[in-house]
A and B are shown apart, each in its own frame.
Chain A
């Protein structure tokens, strides 16, 4: 049994505003935003699975479902055998110790009025019965572990640099010895040199603490470095899921291929794959039936009018495309 098993996860938001109201008045079905549509995958203990895709593909919504910041409209999220998709806040509380999250924006995710110490200590106060002294020791140990000096403990977020802030976020997330951490674009707001350090830190912590990561990112280079398996999302669904090596060596789904081809390579002589999709990502409101990439895919055939299932084309490689 995998540590986290996600089955047919679905998150539909009813469309509010003028468009939604108009549709209701006309007696039509209220349009929904299909942010996530039947997403299934597993995360084994100790592994890093990456969820990649462009903005609006639903990867952050999946993350928010997994840490139960939102309740999915359908599907299940089994953590260590317990389905957390429908737990209420009270039943969820003991599990919060095990399931943590590092947010995208290191500045916005820190409360500007709390000191570093209080922020890191909070999780310990909430989940453990440690006496104050031991809590303090643990906070110091944690900040040391993520490479923050002890002198920073009594500082406030605005007195820290971007890299230090992200370390505080990481220290807070690992404070209660979680087993599963969702990383929502943890490096995208960081500068080049800080990014590589954050990547190494996350990798070190995973090895030392035996963490499992779900790594949400649009930065394919970082994904290649950190993840053992990658799921590529497009418009709310997984279009390809595969081991990292295989995917980067030869992406099978046209979307994965286009995505990879678009990443700028720091080598002026690199051979480029010219494969590109036309247009931009359509709105997730009125999704045409059939393959969601059909309108943009240069390889589209009549058969694509039918929605391709995610099928296993090689051991551990899943692709949702009729042409593979």
Chain B
């Protein structure tokens, strides 16, 4: 077994990025999930072209229509086209999910790298704060922050990223503790690198693979948090189209039998979150060093 491994690893490998691409294609589920996200993102970006109606165009004559040829996913009580609203809502949802994740990865990763490398008392303090934050239910924390900051799209994004920073911080710190003992870290020191260069240029890039996996998985979670916040009225406010808001509006109609108002935004949330999770799982298998060299 080990012999076959050493042999295949001695063959020159293609560049890492093309390897990732090749492997991703061999994992059909993750690949399909990636296609779904790309599709949703593309629809969101080109919403004005793709959407059949304007998201806020009311049509009193066609209120509460079930799905039909004119309105594929039906209409709400004001006669707004459900499909167009879902497409436009994807803009807010994806943007906030990506932005919140990006901010959380950047801040959490950087702080984690610094405290992991320096260890000592900064590390102790940072980790106790992280422990405290992680012990607090993330959703309640996000609720508190949005309530405190006031609800706007930006504030929702800030709230979500704050709840996610601890996870990245802890992950990067752990990686850093391991990497700082690597021989190439010693080599960087002997060559005369100042500390900031060792952390930023030599070690942080090597922390990225697990960070990327974590980021993909929690982009889905960020989206879910935002939809939940909006659902309970703390996130994005109506009449802005947002999947959580739409689900909340739809939920009130469900007793009267207008099921499509609740089902389709809910499905949009579920599909996106599931897709992010599947991509994350696929990436984890892909970037796991133990999987390298295997085919």
Any A–B CB pair closer than 8 Å? yes
Hey, which bits of chain A sit against chain B, CB under 8 A? 64, 67, 69, 89, 93, 96-97, 99-101, 103-105, 108-114, 122-123, 126-127, 156, 158-159, 161, 169, 172
* Residues from chain B with Cβ under 8 Å of A110 in the complex: 184, 187
Cβ contact within 8 Å between A96 and B13:
no
Could you name 24 residue pairs across A and B whose Cβ atoms are closer than 8 Å? A67-B190, A69-B186, A69-B190, A89-B194, A93-B192, A96-B190, A96-B191, A96-B192, A97-B192, A100-B191, A101-B190, A103-B183, A108-B184, A110-B184, A111-B188, A113-B205, A113-B206, A114-B202, A122-B188, A122-B191, A123-B192, A126-B192, A169-B187, A172-B191
Taking CB as reference atom, which chain A residue is nearest B189?
A69
How far in angstroms is the closest Cβ of chain B from A226?
21
Taking CB as reference atom, which chain A residue is nearest B187?
A109
* Residues from chain A with Cβ under 8 Å of B46 in the complex: none
Chain B, 153-199, CB within 8 A of any chain A CB:
182-184, 186-195
With beta carbons under 8 angstroms apart, the residue of B10, B186, B206 that contacts A103 is B186
Q: How large is the interface on B (under 10, 10 to 19, 20 to 34, 35 or more residues)?
A: 20 to 34
Hey, which bits of chain B sit against chain A, CB under 8 A? 10, 12-13, 16, 182-184, 186-195, 202, 205-206
Determine the distance from Cα of A69 to Cα of B189 in the docked complex, in whole angstroms: 7
Taking CB as reference atom, which chain A residue is nearest B205?
A113
How far in angstroms is the closest Cβ of chain B from A99?
8
How far in angstroms is the closest Cβ of chain A from B94?
29
Determine the distance from Cα of A315 to Cα of B206 in the docked complex, in whole angstroms: 52
Q: A103-B183, A172-B191 are in contact. List 9 more A-B contacts (CB 8 A).
A: A93-B194, A96-B191, A101-B186, A101-B190, A108-B183, A108-B184, A159-B12, A161-B10, A172-B187
With beta carbons under 8 angstroms apart, the residue of B12, B190, B192, B202 that contacts A111 is B202
Determine the distance from Cα of A89 to Cα of B182 in the docked complex, in whole angstroms: 19
Cβ contact within 8 Å between A100 and B190:
yes
Determine the distance from Cα of A259 to Cα of B183 in the docked complex, in whole angstroms: 28
Cβ contact within 8 Å between A112 and B187:
no
* Residues from chain A with Cβ under 8 Å of B193 in the complex: 122, 126
Cβ contact within 8 Å between B192 and A104:
no
How far in angstroms is the closest Cβ of chain B from A179?
14
Cβ contact within 8 Å between B192 and A101:
no
How far in angstroms is the closest Cβ of chain B from A79?
14
Determine the distance from Cα of A108 to Cα of B189 in the docked complex, in whole angstroms: 14
Indicate whether A111 sits within 8 Å of B184 (C-beta atoms), given known contacts A93-B192, A127-B192, A159-B13.
Answer: yes
Determine the distance from Cα of A120 to Cα of B141 in the docked complex, in whole angstroms: 48
Determine the distance from Cα of A110 to Cα of B183 in the docked complex, in whole angstroms: 8
How far in angstroms is the closest Cβ of chain B from A272?
33
Cβ contact within 8 Å between B183 and A104:
yes
Determine the distance from Cα of A108 to Cα of B13 in the docked complex, in whole angstroms: 18
* Residues from chain B with Cβ under 8 Å of A103 in the complex: 183, 186-187
